[in-house]
Amino acid sequence: MSTAGRARAADPKAPLMAYVGTFSSPLRDTLPTQVDLPPGNGRGIHLFQVDRTTGALTPAGVHEMGTSPSCLVFNAAGTRLYSANETDRIGETKEGTVSAFAVDRTTGQLTPLNSVRSGGAGPTYVSLHPTGRFLFVANYFGGSVAVLPVLDDGRLGEPVDVQVDSGPIGPTRAPSAPPGSFAFSGHDRTHAHMIHADPGGRFVLHVDLGLDRIYSWKCDADRGVLTPNDPPFVTLPPGDGPRHFHFHPNGRWLYSIQEEGSTLALFDYDPATGRLTHRQTLSSLPSGYAGSNFCSGVMVSADGRFVYAGNRLHDSIAQFAVGADGRLSFVADEPTRGNYPRSFNTDPSGQFLYSCNQRADNLTTFRVNAATGRLEFTGQYTPVGNPSIIVFLDLAAS
């Protein structure tokens, strides 16, 4: 989960909202013919009021969309929300779309601004440049990344740059995976899975799962144009499938999670050059696990002391302690109480962690132990069809 997906701390007495992006099937008579990958049980973007004391979620409406808004990001001011709509075709156009919304700062409700093409099929991830002037999109089924300008009123312009990944595809079996693993998801072609700027905004990184690479781009913050860095990428072990990454708050360490290899990798990051240097790899699973598993998200705690990793099929969130040198050590793993945790996130206070259990059609809520990093299930289940992501927003105090 990117840092942009977390809400900014505000008045603790102000209302707190949660927005859940889902995989949602087309709504009849409201949209042109399209193909959603995968089709889903969600209804679009689901809104909830959050109880800051207990972590409980109370439904507060749904912005109905049949285009699988599977990834969401707010601008810094909390006045605009952007969604990646994970379709591979809208009508006859073999691209997905991204959408912009205005946010009512009093009620939290959404008003559509516009939708534009994403620069490739199956947009699965969106993030904003630190300046807020550009939206980055990773197109999973298109194997491309795109840069879209954010206009003065918050609407999105057409892509100003599209980069298409190319190279040798990794093997369908990951040597790093647990014994007996048949985990195969993306080593059939190129699959851009995440894109995010570094904290300074000088460089942009993106992963391609099928190529087992993390790319590094120089970013022109005026024009939104990406040019290859030197070197242009680092390579993970063949077949491991890098999926997501997250910067440590110090901006010098980056943690990458590999979907098919079920591993976490630590890289040293040089903010002056945008270069990554690998330093550690360890399993996301407990010792002795055998069989298939697909990793999902990775998140560094706001205080930088812990790293959390999502495991699908094992259906757990693993907790790791961050050492003084950035190296990780396993602490524990907590069952998600729901099948296939696609992503997870903490509320602005860091007291609660929410797991989006895609195949269980629910969210589960955990209390975070600030001292140990461990998770404790609160007993709260919130029904949502095929949840993919949860992000938070502090509203204006009344």
- What tens digit of pLDDT does each residue of 76-118 get? 999 999 999 998 776 677 899 999 999 999 999 999 999 999 9
Largest Cα–Cα separation, the chain: 57
If we measure between CA atoms, which residue out of 121, 281, 143, 136 comes closest to residue 217? Answer: 136
Tally the domains of the chain: 1
> pLDDT at position 81, please?
98
Split at pLDDT 50, 70, 90, the class of 295 is very high
Split at pLDDT 50, 70, 90, the class of 354 is very high
Mean of pLDDT values over 332-354: 97
Please give the residue range of the domain that contains residue 309.
3-394
* 131-to-135, 151, 201, 221, 327 alpha-carbon distances in Å: 10, 12, 8, 8, 31
Cβ(249)–Cβ(271) below 8 Å: no
Residue 26 has pLDDT above 90, yes or no: no
Split at pLDDT 50, 70, 90, the class of 259 is very high
Q: What is the mean pLDDT of the chain?
A: 93
Split at pLDDT 50, 70, 90, the class of 126 is very high
Q: Cα 374 to the chain's mean position, in Å?
A: 22
Residue 398 has pLDDT above 70, yes or no: no
Distance CA 123, CA 6 (A): 20
CATH of the domain at 301: 2.130.10.10
> pLDDT at position 314, please?
98
User: What's at 345, amino acid-wise?
Assistant: N
SS3 string of the chain? CCHHHCCCCCCCCCCEEEEEEECECCCCCCCCCEEECCCCEECEEEEEEECCCCCCEEEEEEEECCCCEEEEEECCCCCEEEEEECEEEECCECCCEEEEEEECCCCCCEEEEEEEECCCCCEEEEEECCCCCEEEEEECCCCEEEEEEECCCCCECCCCEEEECCCCCCCCCCCCCCCCCCCCCCCCCCCEEEEEECCCCCEEEEEECCCCEEEEEEECCCCCCEEEEEEEEEECCCCCCEEEEEECCCCCEEEEEECCCCEEEEEEEECCCCEEEEEEEEECCCCCCCCCCEEEEEEECCCCCEEEEEEECCCEEEEEEECCCCCEEEEEEEECCCCCEEEEEECCCCCEEEEEECCCCEEEEEEECCCCCCEEEEEEEEECCCEEEEEEEECCCC
Distance CA 194, CA 207 (A): 6
Split at pLDDT 50, 70, 90, the class of 12 is confident
> pLDDT at position 134, please?
98
Distance CA 360, CA 339 (A): 5
Residue 30 has pLDDT above 50, yes or no: no
Mean of pLDDT values over 206-226: 98
> pLDDT at position 33, please?
40
> pLDDT at position 77, please?
96
Query: Under 8 Å CB-to-CB from 322, ≥6 apart: which residues?
Result: 248, 300, 304, 305, 306, 307, 328
Mean of pLDDT values over 339-356: 97
Mean of pLDDT values over 339-353: 97
How many CB atoms sit inside 10 A of residue 253's CB?
23
Mean of pLDDT values over 159-166: 98
